[in-house]
Amino acid sequence: MRVAVVGHVEWVEFARVEAVPKPGEIAHAFETWEEPAGGGAVAAVQLARLAGSCVLLTAFGSDELGRRSRTELTRLGVDVRAIPEAETTRRAFTFVDDQGERTITALGDKLRPRGGDSRLPWHELRGLDAVYFVSGDVQALHHARLARVLVATARELATLREAGVELDVLVGSGEDEGELYHPGDLDPPPRAVVTTSGGLGGWLQPGGPFRPAPLPGPIVDAYGCGDCFAAGLTFGLAQGDPIEDAVALAARCGAAVMTGRGPYSVQLDGRSAAP
């Protein structure tokens, strides 16, 4: 199985609190941790655990956090292909409340991989079983289209619209204004659109509604749920599953990650994902 992710990484500091503070309040964290995350990183680690390996084409800052991000993602099984794109790595701060909901503040701009940068091995995407496009420029998306299956997030509609490539699947959250897709937004239209709705499941077009996967434990932390869902969907399509089966696997990936601290502690692997 040969899969890849094109997308960004950010260094995330997490703080578990009883509730996100209101204006003027002070919240006391009873647990903190930090690790490389962001959509590209989370999806790449999930795909690596499902497929055995995953290439991540990304960009880091040329600072200590960039070096730590590369080291940690490599330790987590990702084949990192990255170039220094800026002086500092993007950071983020995330509150996780006692309901498991995450609230994110991003610090700085996304460091998107650029398709015209010859320092990145874009040729390696040709003929891969699947690529998940999280972020990047138009040229990067054209390179990603060289894979047999291309899945992309609806967070990047502006780039998808400008590129004008046909997606096998567009995936996004129906509960996030930044990920809403309407018919006619893209030309050519995606072959399929998967819209998630949290505990309600979601909607597959064409195909209709789908149910959420049962949670394998109590909710701990929702960070990374959507990215793991997309990674599971990409893996299912890469191995030739019908899209309904790929969505069912994706839902299991999303449900699993909600029961652990951070995005990596309880991700499904190839054995646990087997029917």
Average pLDDT, 10 consecutive residues per value, the chain (275 residues) = 96 97 94 97 98 96 95 97 88 96 94 94 96 98 98 96 97 83 93 92 94 95 96 98 97 97 95 73
What is residue 86's predicted lDDT score, i.e. its pLDDT?
A: 79
Q: Residue 125 falls within a domain, yes or no? A: yes
Say if 146 falls within a structural domain.
Answer: yes
In a domain, 62, yes or no: yes
- Does residue 273 sit within a domain? no
Q: Domain tally for the chain?
A: 1
Within a domain: 257: yes
CA atoms within 13 A on the CB side of 172: 20
Is 50 in a helix, a strand, or coil?
helix
Entry pTM = 0.96
Q: Is residue 268 part of a domain?
A: no
Question: For position 275, what pLDDT does the model report?
Answer: 67
Q: Which residues contact 172 (CB under 8 A, 6 or more apart)?
A: 153, 154, 155, 179, 180, 181, 193, 194, 195, 196
Q: Is residue 135 part of a domain?
A: yes
Q: Where are the alpha helices (DSSP H) in 185-224?
A: none
* Strand 192-196 to 202-205 pairing: antiparallel
Q: Which domain holds residue 171?
A: 3-263
CATH number of residue 182's parent domain? 3.40.1190.20
Q: What is the CA radius of gyration of the chain?
A: 18
Does residue 274 form part of some domain? Answer: no
Q: What is the pLDDT of residue 254?
A: 96
Question: In which order are the strands placed within the sheet that holds 78-86?
Answer: 78-86, 54-61, 3-6, 130-133, 150-153, 169-173, 192-196, 202-205, 208-210
Residue 246: alpha-carbon gap to chain centroid: 16
pLDDT at 212: 94
